[in-house]
Structure formats: structure tokens, C-alpha cells
Structure 1
Amino acid sequence: MQRSDERDADADDPAALLDDMDDDLGGSAGGDSGAAREKSTSGSRLRGLLPSGIAPAFSLRSFLVILLASLAAVIAGGAVPIVGAIGRFLGLFAVAFAAGVIGSRSRYLEVGLAGAGAAGAAFLLGTLTSVFAPIAVRILADYGVAIVGVGTGAGLLVSILGHYFGRDLRDGVTREV
């Protein structure tokens, strides 16, 4: 380990580290490195470090839209009197299917997380509202993690399957014969 007064001045400067990286990639240390550094930092810092062919994997906006639609579908599907529990999953499947058909990119991560969160919340709130409150609190204290885990896992599976079938339909419709 070096003492602080012996440390290289370039090691404290992140721009100098980027210059070294540009030199290793074949860039010159002259005027081009400033333009390359300005280009790579003009957008997001992380996006500038990614190779040009890699797109970001997670979209917060898509996740929030799908989460709100999934919560609405879980509530609407649970409101059907006879098939309330199955209706919740049919609603999740429909939202994920629609996201697969409508979206130009696959959003498996966003759809899976939104479906898992909506189904887990629905199982938790369903347990709280279906039993007398003191008994529901005791049940959740004993088995709450298992109840939410089953709901989350089932919601994740249903959402991923719905999105897969939606993407498959979109691919079949848009492919030339």
C-alpha cells in the first residue's frame, strides 16, 4: 500500500483512467480522447461504458406501467365472485400477454417483477381480509413468508408465460411467410 503523498496524481483523476482505457483500445492520447470522453459522458455514465450494441436491460418506466396494469388486473380479476383466485392469475396473464403483443422489445424482467409483486401483494391482502383480523394476524405471523412466497412464485410464472405467449404471437404475426 502506498502512502498518500506517493500516490500518482493520475490515479485520483477518473478522466485520466478513461484516457488510459482509450489508449488501450487504440485511441490516441491527443485531441481524439477528449472528443471520445465527451461523447461517452454526454449521456448516462453507465450507458457510455457499454458497448454500442448492448441496450439497457431494465426500463423503470415500462416496469411502473406494467406494475400498475398488473395491480389493476389482480383487483379486477379478484372481483369476479366465483373465480376470484383464478381470475387474479387470468388478469396477470392477460396483462403480460398484452405487454408481449404490443411491445416492440421483450420485457421479461419488468413483466416478471411486476407480476410477482402484484400477486404477492394480492395473496397477502387476501389473507388479511378473508379471515377475522386477530386470526389473520396470527396466520400471517406463522405462515406469512410462505403465503407471500407462493403468491410471488405463481405470479412470476404466470406473468412470464403470458409474456412468452404474447411475444410468440407477435413474432408469428409480424414474420413474413
Structure 2
Amino acid sequence: MQRSDESEQSVDDLLAEVEGLTEGDARSEARRQSADRGSSDASAASTSRQSSLRARLGGLFSLRTFLVALVLSVVAVVAGGLVPLVGFVGRLVGLFVVAFAIGLVGRERHYVEVGLAGALASGMGFVVGTLTSAFFPFAVRLLSEYGVAIAGVGAGVGALAALVGHYFGRDLRDGVTRDL
């Protein structure tokens, strides 16, 4: 049987090798060297793994940007839905404008945050719009049968409108800030 120290060290070595393959930077090399030296301090290893995970996710998803985009998207969906006779199109135009503004103002790309916020806001807007646009008992029955499909279509169309808006906002920002 192996001692518990040996099994922990082999797990640390394996984790260091996996991080070295996925990251490929100086920090992973330093971790690999410290693991090779026999460093078996479990708390230090878990802290470095947590900070590494935060660093990887920090560049991919920003919670603050997502919350701002979600609030602005909900406001755009409500404001666009208030326009008579073009409520559905007004919602999508509102999402496009919000995503365009975030793309124009932001220094970094936020496609994930803007797309998710647009999908959530539009999906909720479709469901609430179905409840308020038809006779209530009929709307409840319609949502009980087709609610997931209605929310899914709303989320898909909203995500598409938000992503296209963000793309055009980023494109305009790139054109305005590029040196001639």
C-alpha cells in the first residue's frame, strides 16, 4: 500500500501537468517545479488552483457587465413592448440598441454577457407578452402547453439580436479608434 503522502504528491503532480498543458505560461511552469520539489501543502495548492480558475473565468465572463446588460436589456424589452402595434419588433430593436451601446462603450468584448442577458430578457418578455396579450385563461392554457417553446424562441431571437448589436457596436468602436 502507498502512504497517504505519496498519493497526495502524485495527485499534485498530475494536476500540475494538466495545468501546464492547458495554460502553457510561466505560472504553470512555476507550479510544476514546486510540485516536482515535493511541495505537498494542500492549502497552498487549492489556493493556487482557485486563483487559476478565477483568472481563467475572469476573462470569459464578467458578472458586473452581465448584471448591467441584464438590467438594460429588461428596460429595453419593456420600453420596446410599450410601442403600440410593433411591440415584438420594438423589443428586438431595444435589445439591439442596448447591445450596440455596450459594444460601442466597452473596451473589451462581452459577447457572452450580452448574449445571455438578451436571451433572458427576451425570453421573459415573450412569456409575459403572451400572458398580457390574450384572454388570461386562454393565455395560461397556451403557456402550459407551449410555454417552453415560446420562451425558447424568445430567448433565441433575443440572443441573436443582442449578439448582432454587440458585434456592430464593437465594429464601429474599432473603426472609430483605429489609426489611419
Q: What TM-score does the superposition give when structure 1 sets the normalisation length?
A: 0.78
Q: CA deviation at 1:133?
A: 1.6
- For structure 1, which runs of at least 5 residues remain unmatched after alignment? none
Instruction: Look up the match of 2:61.
Output: 58
Q: Of 3, 8, 30, which aligns to 2:4?
A: 8
Task: Kindly indicate which of the two structures has a greater share of residues assigned to helix.
Answer: 2
Secondary structure at the aligned position of 1:106 is classed as coil
Distance 1:17 1:155 in 2: 44
Amino acid aligned to 1:83: V
Q: CA deviation at 1:42?
A: 9.9
Q: Of 61, 72, 83, which aligns to 2:75?
A: 72
Instruction: Look up the match of 2:150.
Output: 147
Structure 1 runs (4+) greater than 2 angstroms displaced? 5-8, 10-14, 18-22, 24-30, 40-45
Distance 1:42 1:7 in 2: 24
Secondary structure at the aligned position of 2:33 is classed as coil
How many residue pairs align between the two structures? 164
8 Å contact from structure 1 (residues 93, 159) kept in 2? yes
Distance 2:58 2:64 in 1: 15
Q: Of 10, 17, 20, which aligns to 2:12?
A: 17
Amino acid aligned to 1:27: Q
Distance 1:95 1:46 in 2: 30
Structural RMSD (CA):
3.1
Distance 1:121 1:82 in 2: 19
Matched, 1:44 2:51: yes
8 Å contact from structure 1 (residues 10, 17) kept in 2? no
Distance 1:81 1:126 in 2: 13
Q: CA deviation at 1:80?
A: 1.4
8 Å contact from structure 1 (residues 27, 33) kept in 2? no
Distance 1:127 1:42 in 2: 46
Amino acid aligned to 1:175: R
Q: What TM-score does the superposition give when structure 2 sets the normalisation length?
A: 0.77
Instruction: Look up the match of 1:133.
Output: 136
Q: CA deviation at 1:41?
A: 3.1
Distance 1:74 1:89 in 2: 7
Identity %: 50
CA distances 1:94-150 after superposition (whole Å, capped 9, x unpaired): 000001000000000000000000000000000011112211111111111211111
